[in-house]
């Protein structure tokens, strides 16, 4: 098996889910306790967000590339970023990366195609929803990604950083997110929802709401990481 390198800390709650999920992905293998070796570098989230807010993309790319070098020096064979937001810079990072990378966006796109879905909506941080990195990948595969309207984007982003990223999961916030989704079902005719922040599955844990599937990018990415670790690409 290949040694896994994880760029974590964006946020810590999701990084824990990645670790547990990867271990669980190997529990049904023929050899008992044959878990993969995992190296985690947990970043300073405040530093990362400040660079994102100030659009210091060159500096942020170098920051992440330096972390990937550290993971390589620790013996990692490949790397995955345990968050959607840094995938805004995925192409830049991959260009400079000293290790192969497994993309959460590419993995999610393949999963949507596998299930025959055509018109997903995307919930994520403001960086993710305002960026085009999901749309770019999906459009290359003939898919449309629907984004919430401006006010709903602000609401989702505010709830993410004031509650969900801090491990605070309120019923009223879950209901608010589902109301935004229901509006998009009625107006945009979406057929699925991409949980485009790795903390979202912690507040929206069910596989379906209002009859449409939730695309848990955390679990999709974990499965892709486990496959790559096994040599399945």
pLDDT of amino acid 13: 83
Q: Phi, psi at residue 55, to the nearest 5°?
A: 55, 40
Give helix 217-230 / helix 104-114 axis angle, nearest 10°: 100
Is it true that 4-103+220-230 and 105-216 share their CATH fold? yes
Q: Are 61 and 53 in contact (CB under 8 A)?
A: no
DSSP string, 175-230: HHHHHHHHHHHHHH---EEEE-STTHHHHS-SSEETTEEEEEHHHHHHHHHHHHHH
How far is 22 from 78, CA to CA, in rounded Å?
14
Q: CB 107: neighbour CB atoms within 10 A?
A: 21
pLDDT of amino acid 31: 74
Q: Are 69 and 98 in contact (CB under 8 A)?
A: yes
Domain ranges of the chain: 4-103+220-230, 105-216
DSSP-based three-state secondary structure for 80: strand
Name the CATH architecture for the domain at 105-216. 3-Layer(aba) Sandwich (3.40)
Q: Give the right CATH number for 4-103+220-230 from 3.60.15.10, 3.40.605.10, 3.40.50.1860, 3.60.110.10.
A: 3.40.50.1860
| CA-atom Rg of the chain in angstroms | 17
The pair of structure tokens assigned to 115 is 């299930």
Q: Are 48 and 92 in contact (CB under 8 A)?
A: no
Q: Which long-range contacts (CB under 8 A, 24 or more apart) does 199-206 make?
A: 199/11, 199/13, 199/14, 199/160, 199/164, 199/165, 200/123, 200/124, 200/164, 201/17, 202/13, 202/14, 202/17, 202/164, 202/167, 202/169, 203/164, 203/169, 203/173, 203/174, 203/177, 204/174, 204/177, 204/178
**pTM to 2 decimals?**
0.89
Tens-binned pLDDT, residue by residue, of the chain (233 aa): 999 999 998 878 889 999 999 999 998 777 778 899 999 999 998 999 999 999 999 999 999 999 999 999 999 999 999 999 899 999 999 999 999 999 999 999 999 999 999 999 999 999 999 989 999 999 999 999 999 999 999 999 999 999 988 889 999 999 999 999 999 999 999 999 999 988 898 899 999 999 999 999 999 999 999 999 999 87
């Amino acid at each position: 098996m290949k040694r896994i390198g994880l760029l974590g800390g964006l946020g810590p709650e999701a990084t824990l889910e990645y670790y547990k999920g990867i271990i669980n992905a190997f529990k049904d293998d023929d050899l008992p306790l044959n878990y993969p070796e995992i190296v985690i570098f947990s970043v300073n989230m405040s530093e990362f967000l400040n660079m994102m807010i100030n659009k210091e993309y060159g500096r942020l790319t170098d920051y992440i590339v330096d972390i990937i070098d550290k993971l390589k020096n620790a013996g990692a064979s490949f790397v995955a970023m345990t968050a959607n937001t840094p995938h805004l810079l995925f192409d830049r990072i991959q260009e400079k990366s000293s290790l192969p990378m497994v993309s959460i966006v590419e993995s999610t796109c393949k999963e949507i195609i596998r299930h025959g879905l055509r018109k997903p909506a995307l919930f994520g941080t403001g960086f993710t929803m305002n960026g085009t990195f999901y749309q770019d990948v999906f459009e290359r595969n003939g898919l449309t990604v629907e984004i919430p309207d401006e006010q709903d984007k602000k609401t989702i982003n505010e709830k993410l950083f004031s509650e969900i990223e801090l491990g605070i999961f309120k019923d009223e916030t879950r209901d608010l997110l589902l109301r935004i989704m229901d509006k998009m079902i009625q107006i945009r005719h979406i057929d699925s929802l991409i949980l485009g922040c790795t903390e979202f599955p912690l507040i929206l844990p069910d596989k379906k709401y209002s009859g449409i599937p939730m695309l848990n990018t955390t679990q999709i990415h974990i499965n892709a990481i486990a496959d790559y670790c096994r040599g399945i690409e």
